[in-house]
Structure 1
Amino acid sequence: MAVLDVERHHQDLVDELIAAAEAYNPGVDKELLARAFHYAAAAHEGQLRRSGEPFVHHPWGAAKICAELRLDEQSVVAALLHDVVEDTEVELDDLRGEFGDEIAVLVEGVTKLTRTSFQSREQAEAENYRKMIVAMAQ
């Protein structure tokens, strides 16, 4: 995919995520959502999923689910960033400096347990969502 095509595709994903969040929160911080998406995309640049699609599609999908569940914008941002600390060189303190304590705490709460083995990918994803909900409740 050419650079302009990637940028256009990323903008389409951002626009779709913002539209999902605006459907229930007209005052959503569009700049924050866009910034978090682009941060995740840059951090995951070059990483692919087993399907061959860019890795950023996974956190985008998680964030869209959070928006469709009408979670607050901090939770949507945490979903976008949930694999950045675990799967890239970015550290939690980097996220804290860029996005603040609340989002860093949410990301920390959903960081996958690398020592835990799950019987299926679905179980692992369910555990990640459970941890995000617990982190939001604290």
Structure 2
Amino acid sequence: MIKGLYEAHLPVKNLDISIEFYRKLGLRFAWRDEDTAFFWIEEGKSWLGLWEGKEYQTPYHPSLRHVAFRVTYEGLKDSLQWLESIQVEPVSFGKRTLIEPFVRPNQGNASIYFDDPDGNSLELMCYVEVPDKLKYITEKLSFEDWENLI
């Protein structure tokens, strides 16, 4: 039934700063009005709405402020260099202290996390083919450890 992301919305403190940030990520600007801006994630299929306002400045649970962007496996492998090239710092996820991309074998995906200028949680994520014999692994594995297993 679900084929991909239709839209996601994030609160921002300064629309101009956020527009520049999401342009650096390579999203194509769709339109803007006084306090909102939209970017295409996949043109004609999914987009991201940014909403500026004082009411968005109060902290609330990060799961309400999260977007995952689908990327390729190779793209995710190169994500640290790409984020560095656009001056974006990756962040650790959950109890992990490491910031590099990781694989979740039991979920069949891999990702890396970073924040936008307003602290919204962003993720680059891809699907990973997992052999049946490895689907029991619940720990998060580095790409190196994952590739040594498969």
Which structure would you say has the larger RCO, counting Cα contacts within 8 Å and 6 or more residues apart? 2
Q: Does TM-score exceed 0.5, indicating one fold?
A: no
Query: Higher strand proportion, which one?
Result: 2
Which of these two proteins has the greater Rg computed from alpha carbons? 2
Query: Higher helix proportion, which one?
Result: 1
